[in-house]
Structure 1
Amino acid sequence: MDLNFKVSQLITSEGAWNIDLLRELFVPEDVVRILSFPPSRNVPDALLWAHTKEGVYTVKSGSWLQAQPFPGMSDVSAIQKKVNRLKTCVWKIKTVPKIRMFLWRALSGAVAVAECSIQHGLNVDPICKVCKQDLESISHVLFECEKARQVWDVTCIPIVFGLALGFIEYMEQILECNTIGANYRQAIPWLLWGIWKQWNAKVYAGNTGDKDILIAHALEESEQWYKANEEEEVHKSQGLVANGGGEKKWSRPPRDILKCNIHASWLNSNSRCGGAWIVRDNRGDVMFHARDAFVPTSNRIAAELRCLIWAMKSVLDLRVTCVEFWTENLSVF
């Protein structure tokens, strides 16, 4: 039905209802209701809200309508539940924070590919800028594009490709991938990150890149990360996602006291390290936060101490005095 259709178009030149047109546009019950009152040409057309007696929108009627089941809503809900489950898994993937954030953004449709840009109202070419063949979607760039397929083929990671598959289905496959060697399984997050960086390098800098170098770099980065984090049980596990049993939840500070959590990222004595801190109140609301990079330090404890001193100075500069500092590295204290 035309949403701009007017009541006057339902009235004949004799001033009566056009019954044939009514039966064409409305269900029988509504036709009976419409015919129960005579038409009037003297009243101007206006927009009316169908869910109140007065025809005027109210917040209550809008909330009621939103709560009503509609055809297809169950399917949408099921898809959203799947996405939410995958987002939860992504935050537990054993990799560096920037890659977890990238995967979460990909699941949220917040990655700079043509399909996402079009969905946000931008007028861009939908075809992939690298292969010039298919729709430039997240799943295409990371799995289906020619350069990405070459990486997955060389690593022999068992991924089923298909036109009907989206990024959600591909993520489900790699999260459940337990049939390959530990080195390749652990490197999957770095492979995805490498494919994304290589695609951007080709699009914006014209650098073709080499799949063998990408794979070797991903394997090296993942191995260094596992060694640096000293997670012996991780090497024995069969999946990418960390077990939930060892998770540590944030605990509230006493009332009228702020809590500052700090964390330092350290790889080796030759690399720059980084740190971050976040201050929350008793309700868990974020008051202040910051992150920074430091010059190389000799070990992880030194990096954590440098981060702690920096956080203390920063909080003092903010004139926050009633605050307690927390770190997961017990060696600092």
Structure 2
Amino acid sequence: MKVDPRCQRCGSSSESINHVLLSCPVARLVWAQIGFPFPPRGFEHRSLLENFDYLLGISTRKEVPGEISRVFPWVVWLEATVNKIQDDCRHWFEVVQAGENSKVGSRNLHLNGNRWRPPSAGKLKCNLGIAWSKGKSLAGTSWIVRDARGEVLMHSRRRAFSGIHSLLEAKHFGLTWAIESMLSHKIVNVCLEIEASELVGVVKRPKAWPAFRA
């Protein structure tokens, strides 16, 4: 397959992962605008392995602020606008914190006697956890799949959603994502458990919940 080997941003004749993400003049401009400290020889004079070793180790440098040292995954992933990178990075850690707070509540419920109930033999159960920040319109959700013996078969990494304006909307996105995940992983014969009576009603008796038809 014939392709143009040049970088489509700067016209360099040697496009590579290292070039596109780190050493291209356009990429270096983004890194500079975000305020990320460059290595002594610059990104352009180091290998991809050396550059990522530098990125992963930057958090150990006390003189680099935390909001700068932890932003590099978003720069690598987006390389769009500096404001977008900073916003996405900030939203992620806010949702992570909200999720940690929700774990405390979950543990307290467990200690009060509301224990997990296993599915029937031969079936699986997927439990969903939802955290929502009203002030920041952010939601975080995760799921875990266990068998009738309580053995964990699979679990998700926490996923973040922005622009969420109600707890019900957060639960809707979380439930939809969990269903899509079950299909993607080909997990069948599974029941989903979530604290959302409205959504459960919509799924089981859609005609009785016409306002939720969409």
**TM-score interval, smaller chain:** 0.5 to 0.7
Q: Indicate the structure whose relative CO is greater, using CA pairs within 8 Å and at least 6 residues apart.
A: 2
Question: How far 1:140 sits from its partner (Å)?
Answer: 0.7
Q: Is the 1:158–1:177 contact (alpha carbons within 8 Å) kept by the matching residues of 2? A: no
Query: Which of 209, 222, 230 pairs up with 2:97?
Result: 230
- Change beyond 3 A, Cα 1:272–1:223: closer
- Change beyond 3 A, Cα 1:146–1:308: closer
1:296 maps to a residue whose letter is I
Aligned to 2:125: 259
Question: How far 1:226 sits from its partner (Å)?
Answer: 2.0
Is 2:20 aligned against 1:151?
no
Aligned to 1:18: none
- Change beyond 3 A, Cα 1:274–1:182: closer
Give the whole-Å Cα distance in 1 for the aligned partners of 2:52 and 2:58: 10
Q: Is the 2:146–2:154 contact (alpha carbons within 8 Å) kept by the matching residues of 1? A: yes
- Of Structure 1 and Structure 2, the greater strand share is in 2
Give the whole-Å Cα distance in 2 for the aligned partners of 1:170 and 1:192: 12
Q: Is the 2:91–2:138 contact (alpha carbons within 8 Å) kept by the matching residues of 1? A: no
Question: How far 1:141 sits from its partner (Å)?
Answer: 0.7
Q: Unaligned 5+ residue runs, structure 1? A: 1-121, 199-213, 234-251, 328-333
Question: How far 1:168 sits from its partner (Å)?
Answer: 2.9
Q: Is the 1:269–1:296 contact (alpha carbons within 8 Å) kept by the matching residues of 2? A: no
Matches within 5 A, 1:249-328: 256-264=122-130, 266=132, 268=134, 284=153, 296-299=164-167, 303-304=170-171, 307=174, 320=189, 323=191, 325=193
Aligned to 2:88: 221
Give the whole-Å Cα distance in 2 for the aligned partners of 1:309 and 1:130: 38
Is 2:65 aligned against 1:184?
no
Q: Is the 2:96–2:140 contact (alpha carbons within 8 Å) kept by the matching residues of 1? A: no
Query: Which of 146, 167, 170 pairs up with 2:51?
Result: 170
Higher Cα Rg, which structure: 1
Question: How far 1:220 sits from its partner (Å)?
Answer: 2.6
Q: Residue 123 of structure 1 aligns to a residue in which SS?
A: coil
Give the whole-Å Cα distance in 2 for the aligned partners of 1:184 and 1:144: 19
Question: How far 1:131 sits from its partner (Å)?
Answer: 0.7
Give the whole-Å Cα distance in 1 for the aligned partners of 2:22 and 2:162: 36
Question: Scaled by the length of structure 2, what TM-score is found?
Answer: 0.52
CA RMSD of aligned residues (A): 4.7
Give the whole-Å Cα distance in 2 for the aligned partners of 1:124 and 1:296: 42
Question: Scaled by the length of structure 1, what TM-score is found?
Answer: 0.36
Deviation string for 1:304-330 (max 9, x for gaps)?
Answer: 477459969xx9xx9947x47489xxx
Q: Residue 170 of structure 2 aligns to a residue in which SS?
A: helix
